């Protein structure tokens, strides 16, 4: 087994561990003496800025040098010069990533940050043994046999934690030397954004390789005796990002807190530091998406309501940090059930999704506090947060989540799955076409809002897109129409005459869909003319939004769901409540089953709708009641009348008006 590095690393060949020195005292003294003489000689050869040599060092100055010099391995002339040469200070504050080679292609020593004195050293175990032998973790490591794997892992744990503290401070300040676990090779160029810490050992790894390390993290095996789970639910990169410093306090205050309803819940949130840190962390992740601000505020208020519920029975538990104390675990369980409306008789929740979200938020808060405990060296707080996470993983699923999923599952039993009828869809389509033609001929600024709603509803209806995706189309998306000027001859020749005409009269754009996916939108000639007219009207209005369907004096777009709902009522549809984007998407998927699409056709349809084929089959392709009743009844009749052996396929079974079974002869 190679002890010098993690076996799972593919990024670098750096030493994973600098082993403790097994040296004799005489050899050590000789080494120290040589280093001291080197330091003195360098001082004697020191020159001033104008090139004149300074005077020799006096003999009595040697004593001062001995007293003022810290560890010789940290203050040697070679180490100091290498840091200043390879990582020179700049006038502009910036984060510099520790590299393996200098600009002159000279291999450089690797530095580690001491957990206790924050000194950068090259021989960390020796430094800890000399300078910090009375620290608890160091004493535990020194008690282990020299050369043993346990001792190496003990040094590694201290090394990773010290490096994490150093890296956290560097990223917070925006300047300094960043210490990754493995330095990049000479042909690799990494940026600060490429690195994320491991949430188990706190080492800094490249994001794309973190999952490999996470599966074989040696610190985890040291604690549990087994490797970490390979489950995708662990999300090592997402968990690691929670350990990075936050930079979004001002934006959270302006975009989330100031717009939140002033009530008791908001008051609790503003007083809780952990909740504010949690808001900053979530804003860093999704704050650039305006439509996610409301969701972030909702997650905050859920935790605030839970905290108020706990305070009603336990006034001393007045912060999220106290809620996360394992000793208050039962209070948290009771409060979550109370907020979600749990009925002990039926074992069901009034709001079954609420406990699931609250649990996820509590774990994120626990990890934030764990980060804080590492930075401030609070071992007690760290153990409490680790204890809460263990309780969550072992008990939350049984005591909370299982009942939530059961409530959701039971609610779907015998629930009518209504879809819009074809006549209503036709009515809405024709109504939108008529209204858009009227407004396009003579549209004034006063008609802008209505014209925009009609154009938006047309896109949602024709493409069966999610209303949120359609409403967030940007002007640049529309202006960047993908015009296929060159069509492959083989593909074009395989098309029917109708398909060739469609290619000429339709255009395609790409927009951002769910989870950042690329989603196509098809526009007809009428839609393109309507949108061009809409942009001309907009030029004379005070609309600064980049959204194609922007509102006056607002950065938010027109809501697609509201526009579709109002226009469905105006169209005179028999059941306008079913004409929603979700129902229309399900109708398309269900009706497509009647077309007998092959696997390739189903994949193409699912991709166009903006989701995975598995989601398409399990959620959108509804088992239509009529189809299921008709076809399965034919099978049951054939089985009960003893004719199942003669049946080759469903089409051979015919049920007469009298309810008798007849079989068609094949061949």
Reduce the secondary structure of 77-96 to three states and give it as a string. HHHHHHHHHHCCCCCCCCEE
For 91-230, where are the alpha helices, taking DSSP H only? 124-131, 136-142, 149-173, 210-215, 218-224
Cα(361)–Cα(295) distance, integer angstroms: 12
Q: How far is it, in rounded angstroms, from Cα 528 to Cα 5?
A: 60
Element (H, E) at 112: strand 112-113
| 16 domain residue, yes or no | no
Contacts of residue 363, Cβ cutoff 8 Å, sequence gap at least 6: 389, 392
Please state the φ and ψ torsions of residue 176, each to the nearest 5 degrees.
130, -175
- Please tell me which residue, 431 or 412, carries the higher pLDDT value: 431
Residues, the chain, total?
667
Residue 394, helix vs strand vs coil: helix
Which DSSP symbol is given to 306? Answer: H
- pLDDT of 649 reads 54
- The dihedral through the CA atoms of 383, 388, 389, 390 has a sign that is positive
The last residue of one of the domains, among 191, 213, 240, is: 191
Indicate if 73 and 115 belong to the same structural domain. yes
Q: Residue 330: which domain range? A: 249-411
Q: Nearest-5° angle of CA 498, CA 503, CA 508? A: 140
Task: Decide: 525 and 505 in contact? Cβ < 8 Å.
Answer: yes
Q: How confident is the model at residue 200 (pLDDT cuts 50, 70, 90)?
A: confident
Phi-psi region of 471 (alpha: psi -120 to 50; beta: other; left: phi over 0): alpha
Domain assignment of residue 233, yes or no: no
Residue in the structure block whose two tokens are 């188990």: 200
Which segments within 179-240 are labelled E, that is strand?
Answer: 195-197, 204-206
Based on the domain organization, do 439 and 396 belong to the same domain? no
Residue 513 domain-assigned? yes
Cβ neighbours of 118 (radius 10 Å): 11
- Whole-prediction pTM value? 0.57
Residues 138, 154 within the same domain? yes
Look at residue 359 and tell me whether its pLDDT is greater than 50: yes
Give the gyration radius of the chain's Cα atoms. 34
Query: Do 167 and 280 share a domain, yes or no?
Result: no
- Are residue 342 and residue 443 in the same domain, yes or no? no
Query: In what helix (H) or strand (E) does residue 653 lie, and over which residues does it extend?
Result: strand 653-655
Contact 170, 180 (CB under 8 A): no
The pLDDT confidence band at residue 405, using thresholds 50, 70 and 90, is very high
Q: Which residue has the higher pLDDT, 177 or 77?
A: 177
In this structure, are 547 and 436 located in the same domain?
A: yes
Bridge partners for 595 per DSSP: none
Question: Using CA atoms, how far apart are residues 584 and 262, in angstroms rounded to an integer?
Answer: 38
Q: Which residue has the higher pLDDT, 216 or 59?
A: 216
pLDDT of amino acid 400: 94
325 shares a domain with 255: yes
Tell how many helices (H) and how many strands (E) occur in the chain: 31, 12
What pLDDT does residue 53 have?
38
pLDDT at 572: 92
Find where tokens 């000479």 sit.
186
Structure tokens at 450: 């209505």
Q: Please, which pLDDT band fits residue 270 given cuts at 50, 70 and 90?
A: confident
In a domain, 59, yes or no: yes
| Residue 552 CB coordination number (10 Å) | 13
Q: What whole-number distance in Å separates Cα of residue 193 and Cα of residue 505?
A: 44
Q: Looking at the structure, tell me whether residues 442 and 335 fall in a common domain.
A: no
Note whether 378 and 483 are same-domain residues.
Answer: no
Q: What tokens were used for 194?
A: 């490429």
Transcribe 445-488 into DSSP letters.
GGGHHHHHHHHHHHHHHHHT--HHHHHT-BHHHHHT-B---S--
Residues with Cβ within 8 Å of residue 89, at least 6 apart in sequence: none
Average pLDDT on 653-659 reads: 50
In 3-state terms, the chain is what percent helix, strand and coil (to 5)? Answer: 60, 5, 35
Alpha-carbon span 111 to 312, nearest angstrom: 52
Q: What separation in angstroms does the CA of 508 have from each of 432, 482, 493?
A: 21, 6, 20
Q: Would strands 95-97 and 112-113 be described as parallel, antiparallel, or unpaired?
A: unpaired
Tokens found for residue 173: 């300040």
Ranked by mean pLDDT, the top range of 9-13, 168-172, 401-405, 580-584 is 401-405
Q: What digits encode the pLDDT tens for the residues 320-331?
A: 999 999 999 999
Q: Stretch 98-106: mean pLDDT, rounded?
A: 74
Q: Are 196 and 204 in contact (CB under 8 A)?
A: yes
pLDDT of residue 667 exceeding 60, the answer is no
Bridge-based pairing state of the strands 95-97 and 176-178: parallel
What is the distance of C-alpha 260 from the center of its chain?
24
The whole-number average pLDDT for the span 501-519 is 79
Residue 597 main-chain phi, psi, to 5 deg: -65, 140
pLDDT at 62 over 60: no
Q: Are residues 365 and 485 in the same domain?
A: no
| Residue 145: band (very low, low, confident or very high) from pLDDT cuts 50, 70, 90 | very high
Q: What is the pLDDT of residue 323?
A: 93
Structural domain count, the chain: 4
Handedness of CA 480, 483, 487, 492 (dihedral sign): positive
Which residues lie closer than 8 Å to 13 by C-beta, 6 or more apart?
A: 5, 185
Note whether 183 and 96 are within 8 A (CB): no
User: Residue 613: which pLDDT band, with cuts at 50, 70 and 90?
Assistant: low
Largest CA distance in the chain: 121
Of 411, 433, 455, the position where a domain reaches its end is: 411
On whether residue 391 sits in a domain, the answer given is yes
φ and ψ of 550, to 5 deg: -70, 160
* Residue 197 lies inside a defined structural domain of this protein: no
What local confidence, expressed as pLDDT, does residue 242 receive?
77
**445's tokens:** 């600024």
Residues 318, 271: Cα–Cα separation, whole Å: 10
**Closest-CA residue to 352 (of 312, 308, 399, 403):** 403
DSSP string, 606-656: HHHHTS-HHHIIIIIS---HHHHHHHHHHHHHHHHTT-GGG--SGGGEEE-
Assign residue 521 the CATH number of its domain: 1.10.443
d(CA 9, CA 182): 8
pLDDT digits (tens, 9 = 90+) for 293-325: 889 999 999 999 999 999 998 888 989 999 999
CA-based torsion, 168, 169, 170, 175: positive or negative: positive
Do 382 and 429 belong to one domain?
A: no
Pair type for strands 112-113 and 342-343: unpaired
Residue 514 shares a structural domain with residue 558 = yes
Last residue of a domain, one of 601, 620, 639: 620
């Amino acid at each position: 087994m190679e002890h010098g590095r993690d076996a799972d690393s593919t990024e670098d060949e750096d030493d994973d561990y600098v082993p403790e020195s097994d040296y004799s005292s005489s050899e050590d003294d000789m080494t120290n003496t040589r280093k001291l003489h080197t330091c003195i000689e360098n001082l004697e050869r020191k020159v001033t800025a104008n090139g004149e040599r300074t005077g020799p060092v006096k003999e009595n100055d040697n004593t001062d040098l001995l007293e003022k010099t810290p560890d010789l391995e940290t203050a040697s002339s070679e180490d100091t010069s290498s840091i200043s040469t390879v990582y020179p200070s700049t006038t502009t504050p910036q984060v510099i990533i520790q590299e393996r080679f200098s600009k002159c292609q000279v291999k450089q020593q690797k530095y580690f940050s001491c957990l206790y004195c924050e000194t950068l050293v090259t021989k960390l175990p020796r430094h800890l043994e000399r300078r910090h032998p009375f620290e608890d973790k160091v004493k535990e490591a020194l008690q282990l046999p020299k050369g043993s794997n346990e001792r190496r892992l003990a040094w590694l744990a201290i090394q990773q934690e010290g490096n994490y503290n150093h890296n956290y401070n560097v990223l917070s300040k925006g300047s300094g030397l960043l210490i990754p676990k493995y330095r990049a090779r000479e042909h690799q160029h990494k940026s600060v954004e490429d690195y994320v810490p491991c949430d188990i050992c706190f080492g800094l790894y490249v994001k794309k390789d973190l999952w490999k390390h996470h599966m074989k993290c040696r610190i985890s095996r040291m604690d549990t005796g087994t490797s970490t789970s390979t489950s995708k639910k662990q999300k090592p990169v997402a968990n690691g990002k929670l350990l990075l410093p936050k930079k979004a306090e001002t934006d959270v205050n302006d975009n989330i807190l100031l717009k939140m309803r002033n009530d008791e819940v908001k008051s609790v949130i503003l007083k809780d530091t952990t909740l504010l840190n949690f808001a900053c962390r979530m804003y860093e992740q999704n704050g650039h998406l305006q439509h996610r601000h409301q969701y972030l505020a909702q997650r905050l208020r859920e935790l605030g309501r839970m905290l108020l519920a706990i305070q009603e029975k336990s006034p001393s538990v007045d912060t999220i940090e106290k809620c996360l104390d394992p000793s208050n675990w039962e209070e948290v369980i009771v409060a979550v059930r109370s907020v979600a409306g749990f009925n002990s008789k039926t074992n069901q929740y009034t709001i079954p999704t609420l406990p699931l979200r609250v649990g996820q938020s509590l774990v994120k808060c626990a990890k934030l506090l764990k980060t804080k405990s590492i930075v401030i060296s609070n071992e007690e707080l760290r153990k409490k947060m680790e204890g809460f996470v263990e309780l969550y993983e072992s008990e939350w699923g049984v005591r909370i989540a299982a009942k939530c999923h059961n409530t959701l599952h039971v609610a779907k039993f015998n629930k009518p799955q209504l879809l819009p009828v074809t006549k209503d869809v036709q009515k809405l389509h024709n109504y939108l076409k008529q209204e858009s033609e009227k407004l396009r001929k003579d549209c004034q600024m006063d008609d802008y809002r209505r014209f925009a709603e009609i154009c938006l509803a047309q896109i949602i209806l024709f493409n069966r897109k999610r209303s949120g995706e359609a409403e967030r189309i940007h002007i640049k998306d529309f202006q960047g129409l993908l015009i296929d000027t060159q069509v492959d001859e083989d593909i074009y020749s395989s098309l029917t005459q109708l398909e060739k005409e469609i290619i000429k009269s339709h255009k395609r754009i790409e927009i951002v869909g769910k989870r950042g996916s690329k989603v196509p939108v098809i526009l007809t000639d009428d839609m393109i003319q309507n949108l061009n007219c809409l942009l001309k009207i907009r030029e004379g209005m005070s609309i600064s939004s980049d959204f194609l369907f922007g509102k006056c004096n607002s950065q938010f777009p027109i809501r697609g769901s509201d526009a579709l709902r109002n226009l469905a009522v105006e169209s005179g549809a028999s059941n306008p409540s079913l004409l929603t984007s979700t129902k229309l998407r399900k109708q398309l998927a269900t009706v497509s089953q009647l077309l007998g699409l092959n696997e390739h056709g189903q994949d193409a349809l699912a991709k166009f709708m903006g989701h995975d084929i598995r989601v398409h089959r399990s959620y959108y392709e509804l088992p239509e009641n009529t189809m299921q009743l008709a076809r399965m009844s034919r099978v049951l009749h054939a089985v009960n009348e003893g004719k199942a052996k003669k049946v080759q396929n469903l089409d051979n079974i015919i049920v007469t008006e009298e309810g008798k079974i007849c079989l068609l002869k094949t061949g």
